Structure 1
C-alpha cells in the first residue's frame, strides 16, 4: 500500500527521536533516499507481506495488529510521533527476504517518513558500522539463546518421554520373561508325560489320535472366546464336574486352564470318544500342558508385539530415519505421540480420538509437529491433574476452510481470561517452580505459525479448553530458520 507523496522537510524529520542526532548532510541523504507519504484511514502494510519499507510516523495514529486464527488482534495503538514499524531489522542484511511480522493501519489521516528497506540497510551500515556489528551480535545471540533454550526444552521432554518409554517397555518385557520361564517348565513336563505314554503299553493308533488331539486343541486356544468372570466361573465348574464324573484326577486344577483355552464340554466328549479309556487321564494331562504352552506362547507374542509397537512409535515420534520436511500422515504422528506419552497420561485421563480419516496427508516437519503435540498434550494432562480428579482429553482432526485442524480439548479448569493473551509469551507459565519452563507454548507457536505458516489459538471456559492447530494443506516454502525472528513492535 502507498499513500500520497508529500514534501520531505529535513527540519521536520530531525524532530523525530530516531533521527535527532543526525547531521544536516545525513538528513539530506535521508530525504533523498526516502519519502514522506500521507495515508488515509486504512491499511499501511499487512502481516506476511515482503518487508520492503521502514515506516516512521510523523503525525497521526498508528494501530498495530497480529493475526490469530482468522482474526486480527490489536496489540498496540499510539499517536506518539517517531514510532516506527515495518522493516526495522533490514540492517541485518543476510540475503534472505524479510516479511512484516504484523499489520499496521491508521485510524486517521497519518503522515509517515517511508524509507526503502535496502536504503535503510545501506545507510545504517555506512553511518553506524560499529553499532551494526553490536546489533548483529545481539540478534545472533538472541537466536542462539532461543535455539539453546528450545533444545533444552526438547531434552526435558525427551527425558520425560524416555522415562515413560522405559516403564512401558519394562512391563511387556518382564511379562515375556516370566512367560518364557513358565513355558520352559511346561515343555519339560510335556516331554516327561510323552515319554511316559510312549513307554507304556499303548497302541500306535491311540498315540496318533492323541497327537492329533493336541494339534486340534492348540487351534482352539487361538480362537478362544473372551468370557466374563461369571461366565468363566460357571464353565470351570461345568468342566470340573465332567472331569470328576469321568474319573480324571485333579479335574478342578485342569478345568481353569481348559476354560481359558476355549475348551468346552463338547470338546471333552470328543476327546473321550477318540482315545482309549486307559489313557484318558494321561491324555487330559498332556492336553493341559498343550493348552498352557499355547497360552504362554500367546502371552509372549502379545508382549513382544507390544514392544515392537512401542519401538515403532518411538521411531515414528523421533523421525530419525526420515527427511526433516516431507508429506506426513498427521494421524500417525498423533498416535505415536499419544503412545509415547501413555505412561505420563495415566489411567485417570480418558483419551478420545475423534479423527476424520478422510483428511489428506500434509507437507510438514513431522518431528517438530510431534513436539507441538507433546507440549499441548502435556499441558492438557497437567490441567486435568490440577483438578485432582479424572478427566477427558479429546484429540480431533478435521478440514476447516481448506486447512487441517488438529484440536486438543481437555476438561480441566480452563485458562483464565486475564492471562489468555500471555500464554504464548516466552517463559510465561502457570506451573509451579521447577515443573515448567514457560517455553512449551512459545516453541509450539513458532513451529506452527512461523515454520508451517499455520495458526495456533486457544478457546477456553472452565471444563472445556481447546487448543487448535490449523495447518495448510498445500506446501509452502520450507524455511528451516523460520520462527527465530522476534515479533516487531512499534518503538
Structure 2
C-alpha cells in the first residue's frame, strides 16, 4: 500500500523526536533517501508482508492490530507525532527476511515520513555504529536469555511430570511385585495339595470332578461382581457359618477369599454335591488356592495394564513418534496430560471432564499444546491448593463461534482484577520465589496465539476462574512465534 507523495521538509522532520539531534546534512540525506506520503483512512501495511519500509508518523492517527485467528485485534492507537513502525529491525542485517509482525492502518488522513528498509539500515550503521553493536548485543542477549528461561520452564515442567510419573508407576509396579511373590507361594501350596490328593486312593471320577470344579470356579472369579463393604461382610459371615456347619477346618480364613472371588452359598452347595464327603476338606482347600491364584493374576494384570497405560500416556504426551503438525483429537492429549499430572493433582482435587465428543479434529502442534495444557492445569492446581487444598478442576471442550474451545475451570481464589492484565506478561508470577518463572502463561500465549492463530483469555471471580483456549477448526499456514521479545518493537513507540 502506498500513499500520495508530498514534499519532504527537513524543518518538519527535524521536529520528530527520532531526528531532532541530526545535523542539517543528515536531514538532507534523509529527505533524499526517503519520502513523505499522505495516506487516506485505511491500511498502510499488513501483518506477514515483507517489511520493506520504516514509517514515522508526522501527523494523523495510527491504529496497530494483531491477527488472532480470523480476527484483527487492536493493540495500540495513537496520534502522537513521531511514533514509528514497520521495519525497525532492518539494521540487524542478519540475512533473515524481515516481515511486518502486525498490521497498521490510519483512521484519518495521516502523513508519514517513509524510509526504505535498506536505507534505514545503512543510515543506522553509518551514523550510529556503536549503537548498532549495543542493540545487536541487547537483541541477541534478550533472545538467549528468554530461550534459557523458557528452557528452564520446560525443564521444571518435565521434572514435575517425571516425579509424578515415577510415583504413578511405582504403585502398580510394587503391587505387581507383591502379587507375583504371593502367586509363587500359592502355586507351591497348590502343588503340595495336588500331590497329597494324588497319593490318596481317591476315585478317578472324584479327581476329575475336583479339576472340573477348579475350572468352573476360576471362570466364576473372573466374573465376580463388586460388593459393598457391608455386603461383603454379611456374605463372609454366611459362608463361614456354612463351612463350619459342614466340618471344614479354618472356614473363617477361607470365607473372605471365597467372597472376594464371587462365590456364594449356592456355589458351595454345588461343590458339596459334586465331590465325596471324604475329600470335601481337600476340595475346599484346593479351591481356596485356585481363587487366590486367580485373584493374584488379576491383580498382576491390572497393575501391568496400568503401567502400560502410563507409558502410552507418556508417549502420547511427548509425541515422540508423531509428526509435529497434524490433525488431532484434543481429547486424547488432554487425557494424557491429566494422567501425567495425576500425581501432582492428588486425591483432594476432583477432576471433571465435560467433553463434547462431537467436536471435530483440529490441525495443531500437539506436543506444544500439551505444554499449554500442562501450564494451565498446573496453575489451576496451585490456585486450588493455595485456597485450602480441596476443590474441583473442570476441563471442558465445545464449539464456540466456529472455533474449538478448551476451557480449564478451577474453584481457587481467582485472579485479582488489578493484575489480570499482566498475567500473560513475561516473568510475571504470583507464585513464591523458586516455584515459578513467570513464563508459563507467556509461553502458552505464544503457542496458542502466534503458532496456532488462536486466542487465550481468562475470566475470573473468586471460586470460578476460567482459562479459555480457542483454536481454529481449519488449517492455517504453519506459523512460528517471534524469535525474541525484541520482535515486538515494531509497534508504535
Answer yes or no: same fold by TM over 0.5: yes
Alpha carbons 1:69, 1:457 under 8 Å: kept: no
Contact 1:451–1:483 (Cα < 8 Å) also in 2: no
1:55-99 deviations in whole A, cap 9, x for unaligned? 211123444455678887665454432121233223334555544
User: C-alpha displacement at 1:289, in angstroms?
Assistant: 0.6
Distance 1:202 1:448, change over 3 A: same
* Structure 1: 5+ residue stretches without partners: none
Q: Which moved more, 1:387-396 or 1:31-40?
A: 31-40
Are residues 292 and 482 of structure 1, via their aligned partners in 2, closer, same or farther at CA, if it must alter by over 3 Å? Answer: farther
The Cα of 1:358 is off from its aligned counterpart by 2.5
* Equivalenced residues, count: 491
- Shifted more, 37-46 versus 438-447: the winner is 37-46
CA deviation digits over 1:279-334, x for unaligned, max 9?
A: 11100110001000100111111111111111111111122233333333311211
Distance change in 2, residues 1:116/1:465 (3 Å): farther
Q: Structure 1 length normalisation: TM-score?
A: 0.92
SS in 2 for 1:227: coil
Deviation at 1:35, TM superposition (A): 2.6
Instruction: Supply the distance in 2 between the matched residues of 1:10 and 1:377 (Cα, whole angstroms).
Output: 57
Provide the secondary structure at the position in 2 that maps to 1:163: helix
How many Å apart are 1:49 and its aligned residue? 5.4
Secondary structure at the residue paired with 1:487?
A: helix
Residues 329, 360 of structure 2: 8 Å contact kept: yes
Contact 1:150 1:439 in 2 (8 A): yes
Report which stretch shifted further, 74-83 or 240-249.
Answer: 74-83
Cα pair 1:61 1:110 within 8 Å, conserved: yes
Deviates more, 1:316-325 or 1:112-121: 112-121
**C-alpha distance in 2 between matches for 1:118 and 1:361:** 44
8 Å contact from structure 1 (residues 125, 132) kept in 2: yes
Give 1:128 deviation, angstroms: 4.7
Q: Note the C-alpha offset of 1:355.
A: 1.4
Q: Which residue is equivalent to 2:237? A: 237
Distance in 2 separating the partners of 1:3 and 1:106: 11
Moved more, 135-144 or 404-413: 135-144
Matched, 1:131 2:151: no
- The range that moved more, 144-153 or 119-128, is 119-128
TM-score by length of 2: 0.92
Query: What is the deviation of 1:274?
Result: 1.3
Q: What CA distance in whole angstroms lies between the structure 2 residues aligned with 1:406 and 1:95?
A: 39
1:270–1:465 Cα change, 3 Å: same
Could you tell me how far apart the structure 2 residues matched to 1:34 and 1:467 are?
47
Cα RMSD, aligned residues only: 2.6
1:186-217 per-residue CA deviation (whole Å, 9 max, x = no partner) reads: 11111111111110110111111111111111
Alpha-carbon distance between aligned partners in 1 of 2:18 and 2:420, rounded to the nearest angstrom: 34
Check conservation: 2:54, 2:87, Cα contact below 8 A. yes
Deviates further, 474-483 or 74-83: 474-483
Whether contact under 8 Å (1:16, 1:82) holds in the other structure is yes
Report the more deviating stretch, 220-229 or 453-462: 453-462
1:164-190 residue CA offsets vs partner (Å, 9 max, x unmatched): 111111111111111111111111111
Question: Residue 451 of structure 1 contacts residue 482 of structure 1 at CA under 8 Å; is this kept in 2?
Answer: no
Is contact 1:446–1:483 with CA below 8 Å preserved after alignment?
A: no
Q: Deviations over 1:95-114 (max 9, x none)?
A: 55544444545455432212
- Secondary structure of the residue aligned to 1:111 is strand
Greater CA deviation, 355-364 or 474-483? Answer: 474-483
Could you tell me whether the CA contact under 8 Å between 2:143 and 2:485 is conserved in 1? no
* Distance in 1 (alpha carbons) for counterparts of 2:389 and 2:156: 26
Q: Distance in 2 between matches of 1:366 and 1:121?
A: 39
Stretch of structure 1 that moved more, 415-424 or 84-93: 84-93
Partner of 2:491: 489
Distance 2:196 2:218 in 1: 21
Q: State which drifts further: 455-464 or 341-350.
A: 455-464
Could you tell which deviates more after superposition, 359-368 or 206-215? 359-368
Question: Matches of 2:257 and 2:359 in 1, distance apart?
Answer: 46
Shift of 1:133: 4.3
Q: CA deviation at 1:237?
A: 1.8
Match of 2:108 in 1: 108
Deviations 1:431-464 (A, max 9, x none): 1222211111111111111122221111112221
- Which segment is superposed worse, 53-62 or 230-239? 53-62
CA pair 475-321 structure 1, distance change in 2 beyond 3 A: same
Q: Which consecutive residues of structure 2, in runs of 5 or more, have no partner in the other structure?
A: none
Partner of 1:476: 476
1:117-157 Cα shifts (integer Å, max 9, x gaps): 34434544555555444433332222122111111111111
Q: For residues 485 and 451 of structure 2, what CA distance do their matches in structure 1 show?
A: 6
Counterparts in 2 of 1:291 and 1:348: CA distance versus 1, 3 Å: same
CA gap 1:68/1:325 in 2 versus in 1, 3 angstroms = closer
C-alpha separation between the residues in 2 aligned to 1:482 and 1:308?
40
Q: Which has the higher contact order (CA 8 A, sep 6+)?
A: 2
Aligned positions of 1:121-160 closer than 5 A: 121-125=121-125, 128=128, 131-160=131-160
Distance 1:134 1:5, change over 3 A: same
